[in-house]
Amino acid sequence: MAREKVELPPFQALIDAHWRDVARLARAMAGDDGDDVAQRAWEKAYAAYPALKSAKNLRGWLLTITARCATDVHRARKPQRPLDEAPPVAVDGPEAAAWPDPDLWRAVNELPERQRFAITLKYVGDLDHHGVAAALDTTPAASRRLVSDALATLRGKLGVHDD
């Protein structure tokens, strides 16, 4: 039984539609290495594109690749100094003026890595919990917990209270 060929848009159309999302997520997750992460994500996507079995959620597929590339960069880094002395990752990105609240993003940078990645994927990448879970290689329940814990920490740091 032959497998049906999936009709994919030209790769350039994919780039044109989603380059900002990939660049923004890469920069938010990898700071100064964001441009390299975005480039690596596009290279991996290009290599895997012809073998895709579905064209259903190409944006989510690209953002998952981007998140995994950012995670690889973090894993490859060798600590140069104790973590408590390391400066936070800068979240400014190609469209720095588009980041609405610098105090919020400073607080996001201070979150533990998995919480920071989860909340960035959820709110910058606009992924649902299944997408966040796929990007972080965890379960949707763990994704919900990471995002929930991150939000609780941010509310405490920023003095935001539910009334």
CATH no., domain 11-158: 1.20.140.160
List pLDDT tens digits, range 81-118: 444 554 454 444 434 445 567 777 788 888 888 888 88
Domain ranges of the chain: 11-158
How many residues are recorded in the chain? 163
pLDDT at position 12: 94
**Residues whose CB falls within 8 Å of the CB of residue 125, separated by 6 or more in sequence, listed in order:** 21, 25, 63, 66, 67, 131, 132, 135
Tell me the C-alpha distance between 114 and 146, whole Å.
Answer: 7
When pLDDT is averaged across residues 48-70 and rounded to a whole number, the result is 90
pTM value is 0.62
Q: Alpha helices, DSSP H only, in the chain? A: 11-30, 34-48, 58-76, 102-109, 113-123, 129-136, 140-158
pLDDT at position 72: 85
Main-chain phi, psi angles of 79, to 5 degrees: -60, 130
Question: Is residue 125 pLDDT above 90, yes or no?
Answer: no
When pLDDT is averaged across residues 2-25 and rounded to a whole number, the result is 86
**3-state SS assignment for residue 70:** helix
Q: What is the DSSP letter of 110?
A: T
Surface-to-core class of residue 127, CB atoms within 10 Å of its CB (0-12 exposed, 13-18 middle, 19+ buried): buried
pLDDT at position 78: 57
Tell me the C-alpha distance between 162 and 34, whole Å.
Answer: 34
pLDDT at position 91: 45
